[in-house]
Amino acid sequence: MEFRKQRILSPDLKNHVGQVVTIMGWLYKKREMGGLNFLIIRDRGGLIQALVEDKQEIQKLDGLQIGTVVRVSGKVVEEIRASGGVELHDPILEVEVAVSDVPPIEVDKAIDHNPENFSTLFDNRVLNMRNVTEQGIFKIQSGVADAIREYLKSQDFTEFRSPKLLPGSTEGGAEVFKLDYFGKEATLAQSAQFYKQIMVGAFERAFEFGATYRAEPSMTTRHMTEFTTVDVEMGFIEGVEDLYKLLGKLINYVVEQVWQKYEKELTALKAEQPILTDELPQITMNNLHELYLKETGKDFTNEKDPSPEEERFISEYSAKNWGSEAVLITDFPSSDMKFYHHVSEKNPEVVDRADLIFRGVEIVTVTRREHRYERLIEQLKAIGGNPEHPGFKYYLQAFKYGMPSHGGFGLGLERLTQKIIGLGNVKEATLFPRDTNRLAP
Amino acid sequence: MEFRKQRILSPDLKNHVGQVVTIMGWLYKKREMGGLNFLIIRDRGGLIQALVEDKQEIQKLDGLQIGTVVRVSGKVVEEIRASGGVELHDPILEVEVAVSDVPPIEVDKAIDHNPENFSTLFDNRVLNMRNVTEQGIFKIQSGVADAIREYLKSQDFTEFRSPKLLPGSTEGGAEVFKLDYFGKEATLAQSAQFYKQIMVGAFERAFEFGATYRAEPSMTTRHMTEFTTVDVEMGFIEGVEDLYKLLGKLINYVVEQVWQKYEKELTALKAEQPILTDELPQITMNNLHELYLKETGKDFTNEKDPSPEEERFISEYSAKNWGSEAVLITDFPSSDMKFYHHVSEKNPEVVDRADLIFRGVEIVTVTRREHRYERLIEQLKAIGGNPEHPGFKYYLQAFKYGMPSHGGFGLGLERLTQKIIGLGNVKEATLFPRDTNRLAP
């Protein structure tokens, strides 16, 4: 269905060489070269150049600025130096919407991503989203989401949506946003953890793309208060290895698909395709500590978590030695587990958990969950949790009436997009980021 | 990728007649008929019957309840009376997870959807989602979402995600949830209206599946405080008719796809396929008032909105006379417009707006937006809005620097699912509904 039969989109122009066609879009750039006027017009397909020699035509743009919406009819001519290999000659211009104010940023120039200028970057998001390279980030993000959804559906996962308005916090803590809910207290969801596990009882395999809220007051502006998590949960697993396999296949699929469908955008953003193996390489936390000690002389052997420098180290080490920029750190100590984690059957000192380190940072935590009702109740009570709290009560119901062995992971959509493209900060992969200081645009 | 090579899913059993296979799932039903024990096992593919004659085997389930997780190996035998046309004979049972408590509801029985028992329905959601017919509602909902996404992508729309944490309310009013945001006030998004319009400036065609929050204290428990809206916006339209066409094609596509892919679930739910025309029939509000007066003697001719009884009436009238259960009511009075609406060029008494009535209720409002900066500022000031408020400032930037003619609509995902299936209340199409009284599960 095309709403304006007469309008041609920029990528289609090459099929109309020699014909007179009409394009519509925004004035993106205007240059004069030796008496010749070159206009660049942007439409949703990209950029197209028009060569205006007629003075009467170019005068129609007198006093008008970048962003002006125009309709341009002209003859399509092959021109190897123009974007798309064609340009419009002898154009007739019609101004649809005139812009008289000079925009605060130069939309056609490379957008400044220097962390020191982030406030300028995000304050001008409405306009810098009109830069075709910048747009690529969010086209790629939508492609990442599509690929995730596609792969999970091919594996029989059902997508669901859980509420983000929850009863008063179960875990206490200051990390939670609280709101007045008709005189009661409600909180905003910090994760869809319980809901996705509940969904295993219905669909076996379930996932959600959902908003996640974090109100940690100590957070620096490096962290976001709202972001998107892909929550994935799978039932009837033999063990945590099934989850590692699923995650490996998923990451490989996403990278393949995105490079297939968004090559133009990735190239403009200078993104490098990650190298990955089909099965993700693994290293236990203890072995990582030892390897790092051996290689650098720095001792983290008593730490319960990998340090940020170890995460960067193991990523590079894995890329070089194991052929994968994504690597799993396994065997986290059970002394540091969450109540719903599953203690390893082989070694009660560790839980069935791995962190996926991708290009130097952790992007996913994968765990098997405790599915045996009595054990789960014990583990909950051990942390002082009240099984009757409405935040736990319904969750526990799922276990009381039969839950199979299961587990899953949560994957930050913006974080994955950031690392795939190779951006420095997760906010650069967020359309309208929110942090302790920022609530707009 | 199959994680348990030895496990077969129920829909696949018919391909293994004569072989011994293993299934895994939940005990769904247990009956004894003349000394024969019939077990029904549920897995993510559906139900499968096992005939147990061996006493030693059936004794393994002594004292165990519905929900018990089992592994069953047996011979696949054709049996026309069983679901799927096959059943398992001479099974060997293994109990994976024993359930000893009798569940509070009978999971295999039709789930009670009587509005008087809604609190039971929603309190037991964790368990009634294990009923295969009930599950169908949410499989269909995920299919509705897939079809919407698929159609919009085929029309070059880009999916985006906008934040739900917003600065203090722009429109004031008590309908908004407020929260403490590090000492400032934040609100939860009531719509993605401004963001989707901003995205037209970048992508021309954009959409979002997003959460919508309403805190109206006067709301009855019939309304939900959190639901999912599909926000769609399209640039470079000739007029509002382009939007009506898009919506017509979209609704047709969704219904076709869902009936193609979820026939089994729709049949179990006794859903009837809506009749639709390719282009949706239209009636102006004035003509509706007159038609209703003529047909029923009831006079609504001074009303600015269609009354609920007129909505029901026109739906039936349209189905009977125009061959479509979806019908557009057009030509809403401009005296009742929102500041961002576009006044009709032909008749300044009306705005370019239509409500889509589907099976008796309004499910979509479609409007063309005012895209001319000066007009928009005038219309905003006319309602007392402050263009410098952070809730308006960035939005207006999009217009100041060039916005083409555009418009769009918001479509309630749960509402559309409800009406497609023919459920009585939107909450029945919501996994975990939220209302003034309900924040759990």
Q: Looking at chain A from residue 24 to 83, which residues have their Cβ under 8 Å from any Cβ of chain B?
A: 24, 26-27, 43-44, 65-69
* pLDDT of the residue at A169: 66
Reported confidence tier of residue B352, pLDDT bands at 50, 70, 90: very high
For B428, residues 6+ apart whose C-beta sits below 8 A from its C-beta are B113, B121, B137, B418
Q: Are residues A212 and A346 in the same domain?
A: yes
> Does residue A148 form part of some domain?
yes
pTM of the complete model:
0.96
Summarised one tens digit per residue, pLDDT across range B227-274 is 999 999 999 999 999 999 999 999 999 999 999 999 999 999 999 999
Neighbours of B339 (CB within 10 A): 18
Long-range CB contact pairs, B310-315, < 8 A, 24+ = B311/B357, B311/B360, B311/B361, B311/B362, B312/B360, B312/B361, B314/B283, B314/B288, B314/B357, B315/B357, B315/B358, B315/B359, B315/B360
Q: State which residues form the domain around A78.
A: 10-97
Neighbours of A17 (CB within 10 A): 12
DSSP B117: G
Yes or no, beta carbons of B198 and A129 under 8 Å apart: yes
Q: How far is CA B286 from CA B282, B291, B333, B334, in A?
A: 12, 9, 10, 13
For B70, residues 6+ apart whose C-beta sits below 8 A from its C-beta are B24, B25, B26, B27, B41, B93, B94, B95, B96
Taking CB atoms and an 8 Å cutoff, what residues of chain B touch A238? 3-4
Q: Are residues B390 and B325 in the same domain?
A: yes
Nearest residue in chain B measured CA to CA from A106 = B401
Q: Which residue has the tokens 């309403």?
A: B214
Q: Looking at chain B from residue 99 to 118, which residues have their Cβ under 8 Å from any Cβ of chain A?
A: 99, 101, 103
Yes or no, beta carbons of B184 and A439 under 8 Å apart: yes
Q: Are residues B73 and B157 in the same domain?
A: no
Yes or no, beta carbons of A162 and B431 under 8 Å apart: yes
> Does residue A436 form part of some domain?
no
Q: Are residues B88 and B136 in the same domain?
A: no
* pLDDT of the residue at B32: 85
For B193, residues 6+ apart whose C-beta sits below 8 A from its C-beta are B231, B340, B410
**Cα B202 to Cα B206: distance, rounded to the nearest angstrom:** 9
Yes or no, beta carbons of A402 and B69 under 8 Å apart: yes
Taking CB atoms and an 8 Å cutoff, what residues of chain A touch B7? 236
Yes or no, beta carbons of A43 and B204 under 8 Å apart: yes
Domain boundary among B76, B97, B118: B97
Q: Are residues B55 and B186 in the same domain?
A: no
Yes or no, beta carbons of A97 and B372 under 8 Å apart: yes
* pLDDT of the residue at B175: 87
In this predicted structure, the answer to whether residue B221 has a pLDDT above a threshold of 80 is no
Mean pLDDT of B105-110: 95
Q: Are residues A259 and A302 in the same domain?
A: yes
* pLDDT of the residue at A2: 39
Query: B236 is written with which tokens?
Result: 């470079």
Q: Are residues B26 and B174 in the same domain?
A: no
Nearest residue in chain B measured CA to CA from A216 = B182
* pLDDT of the residue at A172: 55
Reported confidence tier of residue B324, pLDDT bands at 50, 70, 90: very high
Average pLDDT, consecutive stretches of 10 residues, N- to C-terminus, chain A (441 residues)? 66 95 97 89 97 94 96 95 91 96 95 94 96 98 98 98 88 78 93 96 98 81 89 97 98 98 97 97 97 96 93 97 98 94 95 97 96 97 91 95 98 97 96 93 90
Number of domains in chain B: 2
Q: Are residues A197 and A345 in the same domain?
A: yes
Looking at the partner chain, which of B203, B397, B441 has a beta carbon nearest the beta carbon of A44? Answer: B203
- Sign, CA dihedral B422-B425-B426-B430, equals negative
> Does residue B105 form part of some domain?
no
